[in-house]
Structure 1
Amino acid sequence: MTVGDHMTQLGSVMASAMFIWAIFKQWFPEDLGNHIEKYFQRLVTYFYPYITITFHEYQGDEFERSQAYMAIERYLSTNSSNCAKRLKANVIKDCKSVVLSMDDYEEVIDEFKGIKMWWTSTKSIPQQRAIFSYHADDEKRYYKLTSHRKHRDIVVGDYVQHVLDEGNAIATKTRQRKLYTNSKSENWYGNKRTMWSHIMFEHPSTFDTLAMDPNKKKEILNDLLTFSKSKDYYKKVGKSWKRGYLLYGPPGTGKSSMIAAMANLLDYDIYDLELTSVNDNTDLRKLLIDTSSKSIIVIEDIDCSLDLTGQRKKKKEDKKPDQKDPIRKKEKDKNKKKTEVTLSGLLNFIDGLWSACGSERLIIFTTNHVEKLDPALIRRGRMDKHIEMSYCCFQTFKVLAKNYLDLESHDLFATIDRMLGETKMTPADVAECLMPKSAEEDAESCLNELIKSLENAKEEARLKVVESEDNGGQKVQECDGSSDSEDD
């Protein structure tokens, strides 16, 4: 017999009792009736053999779904949906099978340590809402857990925690990583207001495919794995559980691929922060609060995102009046309207008090010109590890040859090794040469194309040096000529 059958029988008894009570109240004073009603309710509670715990989807006026509700939903979908008669089907993108969960007003039975528990999925409409103004979003969903009251300690102490732990473990196994970007206005996703929009993150880059010197790659890999397991250590030393990485080097050296490999290694979401879309420091803090733990916050090309370099030096120049130069004043006003994010606001974003609102996060800056950045922005403690993404070396080439051509050795490798030592070429350019352009191209033709590109790059570099020397000599002659005329 289910809990519903028990409730039906008890309901009939209660209805009869209430009918008798209604007649009884007509013949007794109101004060006496109130006292008798209290004792009557206690009597019903005493004989009622069940306890009920309710888990609401939303608590109060919060826009975010309850973590407990979502954990219970995942637990029941995995462990009890095969017992339910009415199910809801959800299809996840690129998922080959549907995900089933309990439909509304459905009841399932779960067992824990030999004890039976009844779960019911329920929804309600706020009474203050008029019928004609009803909307599906007004519905309040919740789960009801019912069990015999003699098992109260086990249910409250062990079973509920077991359900939450199992639900969170299922979420970790089945979670889909996301790539977020910020916009200039707030968005709504479901019932939650957010300043971020997202797509599913499906970048294939890993540390195995990353074109990089093996020793440097191993060093970065160990650093990331150590960070992901250092929750207690960061708490012990009194620091927020976060770490900053500065990736710098010429374009095409694999900075974005490195970030994707980090996310795939640690199973983190990525928040790609576009600073030019942020109005001011207040909005920057809101964006930080709206990020989740286990995430990477990325600001790419930070030297181009905002004019944050040398701001302290410019303060003295800004004190000069602009009234005599209306064009300069107009340009300053135009730039001010775009964004009011300051260097101070960005520093507080990285390691100020607000940065401690989450945990297990990486903050990554990328730049092509590290020398342009303010030293306060990239000092240790903010950008803890500086990683130079340099030009392609022979070890990097071997990784690319393995990825693109499935080659570990070849007679042309020695020539390529020598030429890479003489010429600067980015991994992106090398990869483009190694990628077959047609079905007729084989591994040897791709290697020959790379050698040809290296020869061209070497010749272009030589011509630039010669041109630079010629220009320098011409300038020296001009200077000598002008000084002679002065002497005359």
Structure 2
Amino acid sequence: MAMNHVKITLLINKIMAYFNRYIQITISEYGPERFERSDFFIAVEAYLSDSCSLVARKFKADLGRDRKKPQTSVDDGQEIVDTFNHAMFWWYDYTEYPRGNVFSWSPGDEKRRFYRVTFHRNFHAFKRDVPSPFTARNRQRRLFTNNPSNRWGSGEKTFWSHVAFQHLATFDTLAIDPTEKKTIIDDLIAFKDGKDYYTKVGKAWKRGYLLFGPPGTGKSTMIAAMANFLEYDVYDLELTAVKNNTELRKLFVETTGKSIIVIEDIDCSVDLTGKRRDKKPRKKSSRENDNMTLQPMEAEKDDEDTKLTLSGVLNFIDGLWSACGGERIIIFTTNNKDALDPALIRRGRMDKHIEMSYCCCEAFKLLASNYLDITENQLFELFGEIQQLLEEVNMCPADVAEHLMRTENRDADACLQGLVVALRDARDMAIKEKEKAKEDVEKSMGKEEIAGTK
């Protein structure tokens, strides 16, 4: 009898589907795991609040931590009729409450919210990415950091923690050479719009940037400017909290598209160099040919202290797992490019190398405009002297900006005067160090000559 009842139910559904020309889709607020809100649900909520505000009469207001401004959404029990691409949509928002008093750590178990949309079956253009532009305008981008693996099995069940990304750096305020700045912007635009191109050439839709240069030259500011320009989230990956290669792969898989994955000071994070080859290679056996690369005996053994290996990081950047998902940018920063393994920064992994150098004349003009609201024509003599000194002295943009910080007792003229004094002192110190080094060399050569005479 039960089987007959199921068959009858299926037959009735088939008959109703044949005569019913409409499709109904239900969108749940929480996914199967019920720990994080569904991105699709958030997108629909943003879409309805933005495009259907003139139709609805009852709203709910919420100021979430991930939003730039108060977010209004359609209140429960309302039907919204929407027209999109000449097709009619009927939206309905409702909430299901538990039957009894339920206490749960999972927010999706306390109550369940849904959006239900109905549209004609001939309209096949209903896609998940329709509300995306509205979501981008209403969502505050996020800055992530990876959690230690001992927290992955806790009640949070998250690999990453995040805060609102609020860095205000832009390319308009970034103090670098204008020509280099334009090159970087063009490269970012080509990447963002290059999905079809990457598919055509058979490459994963990702790009690597290596930012190298002395401390204080603006590497972190460059990352923030990139994120604000592309409107991407930022994942700040701390390698010292990653135990092994498996954890690294899990963290990568949990990142989303439209994101920048950053490893700052990679030369100081973990030891990824020095164990590739031994200075004294072992002898080849009869089965090994001359083209095979020999590894040192120490590298062949499992290092119990550091399970995160160079091979794991290389596969993270450019291996099979790097193709999981798309539209990701990977950025390494370092103060010492030469200390990195060549395989780590080769083209294809770090596609573009950007040198963040000391402050140049054009960068100083931009800093003076940003910090003091002045141009070269207003304080011509001081500008000229500073630009001349910058050609003789290496000073990073961070140090220059510090001298340009205006206070109640320091106006623009006083700030520039202080910068001139600092540059002169740095120049004199460099000259003294150069003369001292020359004297040391002469003394050393004199002692060698005396020793040779004896």
Q: CA deviation at 1:272?
A: 1.0
Identical residues among aligned pairs (%): 47
- If you compute each CA radius of gyration, which structure gives the higher value, 1 or 2? 1
Partner of 1:201: 165
- Which is further off, 349-358 or 35-44? 35-44
Aligned counterpart for 2:276 among listed residues 309, 312, 322 = 312
Q: TM-score, normalization: structure 1?
A: 0.77
Q: Which residue of 2 aligns with 1:55?
A: 27
The residue aligned with 2:287 is none
User: What SS does the corresponding residue of 1:383 show, helix, strand or coil?
Assistant: coil
Cα offset, 1:201, TM superposition? 0.9
State the Cα distance separating 1:101 from its structure 2 match.
2.8
The residue aligned with 2:242 is 278
Q: What is the CA distance between 1:461 and its match in structure 2?
A: 0.8
Q: Say if 2:209 and 2:351, in contact at 8 Å, map to a contact too.
A: yes
Of the three residues 423, 429, 444, the one matched with 1:460 is 429
Query: Given residue 41 of structure 2, which amino acid in structure 1 is its aligned partner?
Result: Y
Structure 1 residues 470, 99: closer, same or farther in 2, change over 3 A? Answer: same
Instruction: Please name the residue that 2:382 is paired with.
Output: 412
Shift in Å, 1:291: 0.9
Contact 1:64–1:192 (CA under 8 A) maintained in structure 2: no
Q: Kindly provide the CA deviation profile for residues 58-85 of structure 1, in whole angstroms up to 9, marking residues without a partner as x.
A: 5555766544433333333445577667
Q: 1:203 to 1:235 in 2, by over 3 A?
A: same
Query: Where is the helix percentage greater, Structure 1 or Structure 2?
Result: 1
Q: Deviations over 1:90-113 (max 9, x none)?
A: 213496863233455x23232445
2:142 aligned with 1:178: yes
**What does 1:279-358 correspond to in 2, within 5 Å?**
279-313=243-277, 337=305, 339-358=306-325
Distance 1:231 1:48 in 2: 41
Equivalent residue for 2:348?
381
Aligned residue among 214, 217, 224 for 1:250: 214
Structure 1 pair 101/186, CA: closer, same or farther in 2 (3 Å)? farther
Q: Partner of 2:381: helix, strand, or coil?
A: coil
Q: Deviations over 1:268-308 (max 9, x none)?
A: 11111111111111111111111111111111111111112
Aligned counterpart for 2:203 among listed residues 233, 236, 239: 239
CA shift in 2, pair 1:36/1:478, >3 Å:
closer
Q: Give the Cα separation in 1 of the matches to 2:10 and 2:129.
A: 40
The 2-side partners of 1:400 and 1:46 are apart by: 67
**Deviation of 1:432 (Å):** 1.3
| Letter in structure 2 aligned against 1:445 | A
Distance 1:92 1:144 in 2: 20
1:369 Cα offset (Å): 0.9
1:71 and 2:47 are equivalent in the alignment:
no
- 2:81 equivalent in structure 1: 110
Q: What amino acid is aligned across from residue 452 of structure 1 in structure 2?
A: V
Unaligned runs of 5+ in 1: 1-29, 322-331
Distance in 2 between the 1:207 and 1:218 partners? 9
Residue 371 (structure 1) aligns with = 338
Q: Which residue of structure 2 aligns with residue 141 of structure 1?
A: 112
Counterpart in the other structure of 1:121: 94
TM-score when scaled to structure 2? 0.82
Q: Give the total of aligned pairs.
A: 430
Residues 314 and 251 (structure 1), Cα distance of their counterparts in 2 relative to 1, 3 Å cut: farther
Give 1:269's match in structure 2, choosing from 222, 226, 233: 233
Gap change, CA 1:414 and 1:116, over 3 Å in 2: closer
CA distance in 2, matches of 1:360, 1:35: 46
Over the aligned positions, Cα root-mean-square deviation in angstroms equals 3.8
